[in-house]
């Protein structure tokens, strides 16, 4: 990578073409990091001296294997891998098709697991960090988001196990849990199957801007927090779900009744 040296910290970010991915990239770039961004498409983004763009469908095993190999070949080191690629699904379980359910898991869970395995050795060498971008749905129920919540629960389980395994190598595993980030203004609509990129759905509350969310994630990353709730709703949900999950459920149902 031009502009990178053996001492320059290097981050790899999946979903790097989206709002939060771009915001995290900008925050890291401001701190002197070099970047490899991975996404299916990059709108109005160009490579810079400190940034390489890798267009890849992470649900395609052959494509992602080639992409990861290219990153490993061109990066002198890797210090941080951010698992940010994801899609959500909005709708009741009764209308959730098997194909849609599997698609959500392919993007949110299986692609992240494959990416973690691909960069596991490089992060051991640098004693670096895995940063999984989960969600409030990763630790609490979320109405009409069963596939999404299931995939994020699975993601958190995987990375918590990875944390236990990698600690002996000096590798950190941190999990950020945003609430609702307005990442894709102008793209509110979901597909007919209810699929949408997180942040483009229109039924959230307490929206944060990508920059605000990235700032909170960077703060937690720097402090080494294993869990980083992002946003007011995320902090309240995280604490309440740990202390009184029954109350958390009743509050969610009350909120739903008010919307209906």
pLDDT at residue number 111: 98
Angular region, 84: left φ>0, alpha ψ -120 to 50, beta rest: alpha
Give the residue among 245, 249, 72, 85 at the shortest CA–CA distance from 155: 85
Contact present, 84 and 13 (Cβ < 8 Å): yes
Tally of residues, the chain: 260
Alpha-carbon span 116 to 118, nearest angstrom: 5
Give the pLDDT confidence score for residue 3 in this predicted structure: 52
Q: How far apart are CA 17 and CA 25, in angstroms?
A: 10
pLDDT average, residue stretch 98-111: 97
Asked whether the beta carbons of 18 and 84 are under 8 A apart, the reply is yes
Q: Taking the model in full, what pTM does it have?
A: 0.88
Joined together, the tokens standing for residue 158 give: 């995987």
Give pLDDT tens digits for 6-47: 889 999 999 999 899 999 999 999 999 999 999 999 987 878
Measured distance CA(96)–CA(208) in Å, rounded: 28
Contacts of 102 (CB under 8 A, 6+ apart): none
154-178 per-position pLDDT tens digit: 999 999 999 999 999 999 999 999 9
Strand pairing partners for 176?
133, 228
Mean per-residue pLDDT, 125-135? 97
The C-alpha atoms of residue 124 and residue 167 are separated, in whole angstroms, by 10
Which residues have CB under 8 Å from 161's CB, separation 6+? none
Residue predicted with more confidence, 195 or 138 = 138
Residue 101 scores a pLDDT above 90? yes
CA distance 151 to 153: 6
Domains of the chain: 10-259 (3.40.50.720)
pLDDT of 4 > 70? The answer is no
Residue 143 has pLDDT above 70, yes or no: yes
Q: What is the pLDDT of residue 212?
A: 94
Name which residue leads in pLDDT, 101 or 5. Answer: 101
Mention every residue, 6+ apart, whose C-beta is less than 8 A from residue 97: 193
Highest mean pLDDT among 53-57, 227-231, 233-237: 53-57
Mean pLDDT rounded to a whole number for the chain: 88
């Amino acid at each position: 990578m031009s502009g990178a040296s053996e001492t320059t910290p290097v981050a790899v970010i999946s979903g790097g073409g989206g709002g939060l991915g771009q915001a995290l990239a900008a925050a890291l770039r401001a701190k002197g990091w070099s970047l490899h961004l991975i996404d299916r498409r990059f709108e109005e983004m160009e490579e810079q001296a400190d940034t390489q763009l890798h267009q890849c469908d992470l649900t395609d095993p052959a494509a992602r294997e080639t992409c990861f190999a290219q990153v490993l070949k061109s990066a002198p080191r890797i210090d941080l891998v951010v698992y940010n690629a994801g899609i959500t699904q909005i709708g009741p379980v009764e209308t959730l098709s098997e194909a849609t359910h599997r698609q959500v898991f392919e993007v949110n869970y299986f692609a992240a697991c494959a990416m973690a395995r691909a960069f596991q050795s490089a992060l051991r060498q640098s004693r670096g960090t895995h940063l999984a971008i989960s969600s409030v749905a990763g630790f609490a129920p979320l109405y009409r988001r069963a596939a999404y919540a299931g995939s994020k629960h699975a993601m958190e389980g995987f990375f918590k196990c990875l944390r236990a395994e990698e600690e002996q190598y000096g590798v950190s595993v941190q999990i950020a849990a945003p609430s609702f980030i307005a990442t894709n203004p102008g793209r509110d609509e979901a597909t007919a199957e209810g699929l949408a990129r997180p942040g483009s759905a229109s039924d959230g509350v307490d929206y944060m801007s990508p920059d605000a969310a990235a700032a909170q994630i960077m703060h937690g990353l720097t402090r080494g927090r294993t869990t980083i709730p992002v946003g007011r709703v995320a902090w309240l949900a995280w604490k309440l779900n740990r202390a009184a999950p029954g109350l958390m459920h009743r509050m969610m149902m009350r909120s739903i009744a008010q919307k209906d």
